[in-house]
Structure 1
Amino acid sequence: MTSIFLQAFVYLVAAVIAVPIAKRLGLGSVLGYLIAGVVIGPIIGLVGEETTTIQHFAEFGVVMMLFLVGLELEPKMLWAMRNRLMGLGGLQVGGTAAVVMAVALFFGQPWTIALTIGLIFALSSTAIVLQTFNEKGLTKTEGGQNAFSVLLFQDIAVIPMLAFIPLLALPELVAQAQSAVAQAAEHHEELSLVAGLPGWAYGLVITGSIVAVVVGGHFLSRPLFRFVASSGLREIFTATALMLVIGIAALMSLVGLSPALGTFLAGVVLANSEFRHELESNIDPFKGLLLGLFFITVGAGINFSVLFNDFAVIIALTFGVMVVKALVLFALALIFRIKGSDRWLFTLSLAQAGEFGFVLLSFSLQNHVIPAEIAQTLSLVVALSMFLTPGLFILFDKVILPRFEQSSNDRETDVIDEHGTVIIAGIGRFGQIVNRLLASNGVKTVVLDHQANQVDTVRQFGLPAYFGDATRPDLLHTAGIEHATALVVAIDHQEHSIELVKYVKHTYPKVKVIARAFDRGHGYLLRQAGADIIESETYHSALEIGGHAMKAMGLHPFYIEQQKFTYKRVEDRKSDKLYAAWEAGSEEERFDNNYRELFVRLEEVMAEEMKIDRSDKHARSERGWTPPPKGYAEIIEEDDSEQPQAS
């Protein structure tokens, strides 16, 4: 018992230390687990022969992962993604497997081993790629969406791969294993419902088991979960979720099928269940821990003597696999017309092998499809390709993406042949709303943006925009800044926005400068630069969300509007004092002295003001608005037409 505790402690310590460090370095959690295994295994030697036994237990994390993958596959989502999912994903898996298989055949491998190697390297790392996409904000890009479709197809394809690989077993490997298995069988006979059955009966049992999982999951799971949920005990719901997954896995094992296949089918059946999110939240911690343990055992089981003995061969294989995958992906990007930097993002992000490669390798080894020597070499290739994945993203960020941005922005600045009453610098998500509001009210605007792609996108929707850097004085002059009423600063670069405000207020002091601030600190800098009106991009939307939350709690709409008005009034009243304290202190002193104290006091005053009952003290702004006189719109239009225009 003591040895079990010590081994568990070693594995957990390795994970707790290595994974946060790997995450901080941008390597991802999977690589963190692999590194932890390498350290406690081959390097330090804290774990040994028990690694293989623990790995069999940890593989249940893969079963849970596929159950969760099935839960995410709603039929509507799959149908909406059918073209990219089946076309792009199917061609990637099939094409990569075929090319790798051809290379393996060229080097003299039997076709069964060559096909298995092709299937293993056809998969990419879902964990590393999706995590990196989220961290770098690439999920919503065209390249990110296409990569996600391929990864989703790969995850689904693992199921038939697990069912197909045992059929490729080599007779000589099976014969070698039979003696050891025979000895073990004398002491423990494998439980099976299909042992000794004829082929037709075996088929009926398998069909019946799959039907039982689908029908039972659809009709019996809901009453079961409702009954358990009525107890109000979260731990019982967790036990039920584990019971479901373990029971289906056991059933599949009893009939000779892959446990992952059964749990995946169950997940798909339950994808539309009202208890789906509860199932995910209960299963996910176990899945994460067991998968982490699995990757640690993979790292601990890496034979570095194989790496050092065949260093050149393994490095060549690693880069060869990545180049082959990249070529297949690049060709598919051309066929499916993925353009620009998205094509390279799609290509580089999926060029590595993945965590399911370890699963298929272990599964192939257990089913006597691949010899242990080849499996050790392939395991090193998979691990090294995953280690190199952060480098591929660095290559994309530092080399490829800047070149595409530069090439798209290298064209000549547009000729601005009109002047505007309002000039808008920046036509991103913020500037577009401002421009549409003004244009729909007949206000003449001139829009400038230094991102050519953004300008082209806006033009596709019929909105006029000019490619050019709004911080250039000559472009502002051409746009008519001398006679403009206002300049709206909505560019993304904070330093450039501050410099633009400084220049315009110094050169054209009569022009109203209305600036978008990212946060309070940026707002102070814009105010210091001379901006007349500053609005935080999240301030009003956050107030609205807070109001909706209060309304959901049952509070009266008028009371909510009063509280929102109070919040804005207190903020406005204290803004000058906060700004003065911010401006007076250095960056280091602001949060140590007067500014911090004022901010804390602001929160106290806010809470006090919110408690005041103002039912009989309505502010003027809360009584409604007096409508403008008739013909007001025509008067405004006449005033605009009489303004002098620059020649």
Structure 2
Amino acid sequence: MAAEAHGPDLVSVVALLGAAVVAVPLFKRLGLGSVLGYLVAGLVIGPYGFALFNDAQSILHVAELGVVMFLFIIGLEMEPSRLWGMRRQIFGLGVAQVAVCILLLSGVGLAMGFPPTVAFVAGTGFVLTSTAIVMQMLEERRMVGIRAGQRIIAVLLLEDLAIVPLLALVAFLAPGGVEMTAGARWQAVGIGLASIAALVAAGLWLLNPMFRLLAEARAREVMTAAALLVVLGSALAMQLGGLSMAMGAFLAGVLLSESAFKHQLEADVEPFRGILLGLFFLAVGMALDLAVIAANWSVVAVGVVAYMMFKALAIYGIARLGHADHREALERAVLMAQGGEFAFVLYAAAAAVGIIDAPTNAVLTAAVIVSMVLTPVMIMLHDRLMPPEMPSLDGVEAPDHNSASVLIIGFGRFGQMVGSSMLTRNCSISVIDTDPEMVREANAYGFRVHYGDGTRLDILHAAGAGRARLIICCVDDRETALRIVHLVKDEFGGIPVLARAFDREHAIRLVEAGADHQVRETFESALAMGREALIRLGNADEEADEVIATLRRRDTERFAMEMSQGMEAGRRLLLSHRADWLAAHEGMESEPQQGGAGTP
């Protein structure tokens, strides 16, 4: 790096952060997307811009952890049953797309004059789509959860898996690579399988108990450290086994996708994922070698155009064969036409064993980076030329309110009763609670409860607060409830919030904080107890109901007065009500005496 100083190199850190802070909002405002903003910012501060950084590769190696963390978060959303349901797309659609693209792009390499082995390696590297760019685009376009996005993710997963046999094939194709013994190959396969088995075993029997113990300690920073340990440890386990780090993190996420700590893990990893993924795109921009492009501009230009065009055609054709319509197939082709970060790994491995020389490696790497830079521009042009269709409502029935999503925060005795009432009407509910013992017991009884702190905005987002139709705060701590209501109304103002109140003063503060409805935890139960007592003392049901209705009406009047005029006005109204009650009580007691004296 250009800037050197004693102690931490703050100039470099400030340059990275400043480039991202300036470029990304500007490019998003221009409609060009955040990815292109990062890439251009990296180019500006890199060796061919202001030269604040001279070694982009060292930054790129660190920033690849952003891709690792991204796949961990994707894994958290992929429950095993859901992943099993995608098996045909992963191993059917994915294998078909990779095989056809390798065949076509190898032909492109031969047409460009590369020897057969070099043409195969060059085309195979370009086949591996950029997981980082595509996943970022899917997230920005809100496609991760829809069927079209799921098909793209299935292919990306297959490509991540394919890097392992492709690296083995590169070693086999190397000069002298045929001499590798069968025993060595089986040993490599065995190490890979052992790494996967060890990770699965840890996910099934170790991770949940570990997080439960850490949750009971209530040390937030340790939970964050544990989340990072899981992501990086799983990536390291796969790397030591000769497999993809990203696939290790994805597998760890899948194993924890049904854990009660899912939302907490997602919220803890998300900030690091965002920063490192942005750093990855910055490093890719820095790695764009303008000298190589200038010296070989015709080869790079022809290679980028030919590789992207034929890859897009293959993706479009496979998508149509898979029964995708024209719009979905075209969108998939545009999104996945670029080369990816795994191409750098494959080309470096091929250069290390002598399949390609250093100038060819530089040209191929530059072609991949240029394709990554062009992807946001192509998507922008696609969206301009093919604006999204308005969905047809023909034959669509009105939504069923019983299917509304409800987020319940706090699952003690109060929250359990509220949740039970939702479930009796088949409402879909999401529940978070900070008591690990409560989470374990609730899950044992069939409730789906996750560990999470409702006072943290990131966990509320992870728990689906932004998509809920109703949020119910059932925590039993006054200040915590107030913080949650404030946070929810500030961030999700359009979603109704119901809150559990401790007493009248707390209820007023909750309403002032924005709660749409509050219930004092003892008020209704006290009225029910009073009604039962009146009936057991000989009063008719109707008389008891009238008394309870009067008490509820007067309480509502007092609450409204205290809201508008303050607590003192409410106390005066309460004294007035008590005076009325005493007067009525004295009149009831004097009537028999007067009747006994013969007074009419």
**SS of the counterpart of 2:217?**
coil
Distance 1:365 1:290, change over 3 A: farther
Offset, 1:94: 2.1
Offset, 1:98: 1.9
Query: 2:26 aligns to what?
Result: 21
- 2 CA distance for matches of 1:608 and 1:261? 59
- 2 CA distance for matches of 1:200 and 1:123? 25
1:574-612 CA-partner distances (Å, limit 9, x unpaired): xxxxxxxxxxxxxxxxxxxxxxxxxxxxxx999749999
**SS of the counterpart of 2:337?**
coil
Offset, 1:85: 3.7
**SS of the counterpart of 1:2?**
coil
Offset, 1:215: 0.9
- 2 CA distance for matches of 1:38 and 1:297? 8
Q: Does 1:270 align with 2:273?
A: no
- 1 CA distance for matches of 2:139 and 2:332? 15
1:105-163 CA-partner distances (Å, limit 9, x unpaired): 344435544333333322334554455555556678xxx73354123321342133145
- 1 CA distance for matches of 2:12 and 2:152? 38
User: Which residues in structure 2 correspond to 1:178-189 (within 5 Å)?
Assistant: none
Offset, 1:226: 0.8
Query: 1:115 aligns to what?
Result: 120
- 2 CA distance for matches of 1:363 and 1:59? 17
Offset, 1:99: 1.1
Query: 2:210 aligns to what?
Result: 224
- 1 CA distance for matches of 2:355 and 2:74? 26
Equivalent of 1:546, from 481, 491, 496? 496
Equivalent of 2:267, from 281, 286, 306? 281
Offset, 1:304: 0.6
1:225-276 CA-partner distances (Å, limit 9, x unpaired): 1111111111111112222333344444555554444434333322322222
Query: 1:168 aligns to what?
Result: 170
- 1 CA distance for matches of 2:355 and 2:89? 32
Q: Given that residues 148 and 328 in structure 2 are in contact (C-alpha distance below 8 angstroms), is that contact kept between their aligned partners in structure 1?
A: no
**SS of the counterpart of 1:53?**
helix
Distance 1:341 1:256, change over 3 A: closer
Equivalent of 1:243, from 229, 245, 256? 229
Query: 2:330 aligns to what?
Result: 344
The count of residues paired between Structure 1 and Structure 2 equals: 424
- 2 CA distance for matches of 1:397 and 1:201? 49
- 1 CA distance for matches of 2:185 and 2:327? 53
Q: Which letter maps to 1:145?
A: R
**SS of the counterpart of 1:337?**
coil
- 2 CA distance for matches of 1:160 and 1:77? 21
- 2 CA distance for matches of 1:39 and 1:173? 42
- 1 CA distance for matches of 2:192 and 2:339? 32
Q: Given that residues 147 and 349 in structure 1 are in contact (C-alpha distance below 8 angstroms), is that contact kept between their aligned partners in structure 2?
A: no
Q: Does 1:310 align with 2:315?
A: no
Distance 1:158 1:85, change over 3 A: closer
Query: 2:98 aligns to what?
Result: 93
Distance 1:390 1:167, change over 3 A: closer
Q: Does 1:153 align with 2:155?
A: yes
- 2 CA distance for matches of 1:299 and 1:331? 31
Q: Does 1:81 align with 2:86?
A: yes
Q: Given that residues 138 and 149 in structure 2 are in contact (C-alpha distance below 8 angstroms), is that contact kept between their aligned partners in structure 1?
A: no
Distance 1:607 1:19, change over 3 A: farther
Query: 1:328 aligns to what?
Result: 314
**SS of the counterpart of 1:18?**
helix
Query: 1:56 aligns to what?
Result: 61
- 2 CA distance for matches of 1:12 and 1:65? 20
Query: 1:374 aligns to what?
Result: 360
Q: Which letter maps to 2:123?
A: G
- 2 CA distance for matches of 1:116 and 1:366? 13
Distance 1:323 1:288, change over 3 A: same
Equivalent of 1:319, from 301, 305, 312? 305
Distance 1:349 1:160, change over 3 A: closer
Query: 1:2 aligns to what?
Result: 5
Distance 1:365 1:302, change over 3 A: farther
Cα RMSD of the aligned pairs, angstroms, is 4.5
Identity of aligned residues (%): 35
- 2 CA distance for matches of 1:340 and 1:203? 40
**SS of the counterpart of 2:496?**
helix
User: Which residues in structure 2 correspond to 1:529-608 (within 5 Å)?
Assistant: 546=496, 549-550=498-499, 608=564
Q: Given that residues 61 and 291 in structure 1 are in contact (C-alpha distance below 8 angstroms), is that contact kept between their aligned partners in structure 2?
A: yes
Q: Given that residues 166 and 367 in structure 1 are in contact (C-alpha distance below 8 angstroms), is that contact kept between their aligned partners in structure 2?
A: no
**SS of the counterpart of 1:272?**
coil
**SS of the counterpart of 1:320?**
helix
Q: Which letter maps to 2:98?
A: V
Offset, 1:297: 2.4
Distance 1:45 1:131, change over 3 A: closer
- 2 CA distance for matches of 1:389 and 1:257? 27
Structure 2 unaligned segments of length 5 or more: list them.
Answer: 178-182, 400-491, 517-559, 575-600
Q: Which letter maps to 1:96?
A: C
Q: Given that residues 30 and 127 in structure 1 are in contact (C-alpha distance below 8 angstroms), is that contact kept between their aligned partners in structure 2?
A: no
TM-score (norm. length: structure 2): 0.59
Q: Does 1:43 align with 2:48?
A: yes
Q: Which letter maps to 1:168?
A: V
**SS of the counterpart of 1:59?**
helix
Offset, 1:68: 3.3
1:483-535 CA-partner distances (Å, limit 9, x unpaired): xxxxxxxxxxxxxxxxxxxxxxxxxxxxxxxxxxxxxxxxxxxxxxxxxxxxx
**SS of the counterpart of 1:43?**
coil
TM-score (norm. length: structure 1): 0.55
1:39-87 CA-partner distances (Å, limit 9, x unpaired): 1123334245433333333333333334334333322222333444433
Equivalent of 2:383, from 391, 397, 405? 397
Q: Which letter maps to 2:166?
A: F
Structure 1 unaligned segments of length 5 or more: list them.
Answer: 175-196, 409-425, 435-541, 569-603, 616-647
